[in-house]
Amino acid sequence: MKNMKNMSLCALCAGWVLSYAAPTLAHHGVASLGAAGLEGPGAPIESSSSATLPKGSVLGYLKLDYAAFKTYTPASNDDEGDHSAFWMAGLGYGLRSYLSAYVFAPYNAKSLENDRYDASGVADLSLMGVLGFKHDADGFQLVPAQESLDDLEDWHFTVYGGLTLPTGDANRRNADGDIDPGMALGFGKPAYSLGLTATKQINARSTLTFDTSYLHFQEYGYDDGNRTQFGQEWRVNTAFNWRLWEKGDRKLRLDGILEANYLQLGRDRSNGLGELATGGDILYAVPGLRLYYDQLSLGLGVKVPVWTGLNEEALQQGAEGKERYRLILTFSALF
């Protein structure tokens, strides 16, 4: 029979990490979830993992996603995207051992080569909920309040969902007074997301994670009279974690991570018609590292597109799939 430990072990093993899949110069953005600790399964950088916060615990989180884009012309007045920096602050709370709630506050700083657009500011707030369950010899059950290290090797799953609140400025204008929805700070209306994860600790050192999610945008009428509905997003991710080094007496652990992130973007619609040079398929590779100290976690990854099938690809400079690289840095603390 598996030895059951008290709640302090559960808290020790849940040094949480949250991540935000931020947009490039386009409009897309979604929050994703992950968990890791000194013991038990490892956590990816971008994909969601299958863990919930201990009941009554609070998570503090900060993330930077820096995207540098390929440029194709020497001109500085053609609105080519140069780079973007996406910050994300978040708070999570464990309502039950199997149910967690989160709020995310993003700050975007998007830059064109000619600096004609002031696209920096607070974007749409995001609210998320996560329901966790597991599967063992007794079948499926909600995640219990106490789990031993052996229990953490069972298959764990989460169902998560949420929505954005239209707090960002969807009608930000450029120096000429024009509105570009792709440079806006908000979607104008709530966007809805739904996802599912599965996580299996293969052995004491390795973890395999699967994650899929769907994001739906509503049509919004802008102040200039135009209407836009951003294309739906579908993500399928997988990640492999390997414990490279640990020092238990100092509560230190270092993991190596390799992820594959597939993103399918639907074509945007403007005034009821499909918009040129939007949508397509992208496969990213994300190698990274995660360092844990007690209930703190620091993650670092480099996200690069390894294959793209974008619609009218030559015209999509500054969009997802046209990055030279994305540098991702996360920090979290559990209280």
C-alpha atoms less than 13 angstroms from C-alpha of 299 in its C-beta half-sphere: 36
Where are the domains positioned within the chain?
7-334
Asked if 323 and 69 count as a contact pair (C-beta separation under 8 A), the reply is yes
Q: What is the pLDDT of residue 311?
A: 94
DSSP annotation of 173 reads B
The torsion defined by the Cα of 244, 248, 251 and 256, in degrees rounded to 10, comes to 10
pLDDT of residue 77: 53
- What are 21's strand-pairing partners? 30
Q: Is 273 within 8 Å of 17 (Cβ atoms)?
A: no
**Confidence at residue 118, expressed as pLDDT on a 0 to 100 scale:** 57
Rounded to two decimals, the pTM is 0.85
Which residues in the chain show pLDDT less than 70? 1-38, 74-81, 110-118
Q: What is the pLDDT of residue 323?
A: 92
Q: Identify which of 172, 84, 83, 157 has the alpha carbon closest to the alpha carbon of residue 124.
A: 172
Q: Looking at the domain that runs over 7-334, which CATH code has it been given? A: 2.40.160.40
pLDDT of residue 16: 35
Q: Which residue has the tokens 């994001």?
A: 215
Helix (H) or strand (E) holding 94: strand 81-96
- The per-residue pLDDT for 318 is 75
Distance (Å, whole) CA 294 – CA 310: 43
Q: How far apart are CA 21 and CA 46, in angstroms?
A: 7
Find out whether 301 and 279 touch, Cβ atoms under 8 Å. Answer: no
- The one-letter amino acid code at 195 reads G
pLDDT value at residue 75: 53
**Measured distance CA(252)–CA(332) in Å, rounded:** 15
pLDDT at 335: 87
Helix or strand holding residue 10 (H, E) = helix 7-12
Residue 75's alpha-carbon distances to 41, 81, 117, 205, in angstroms, are 49, 12, 16, 50
Residue 276 CA neighbour count, 13 Å, CB half: 2
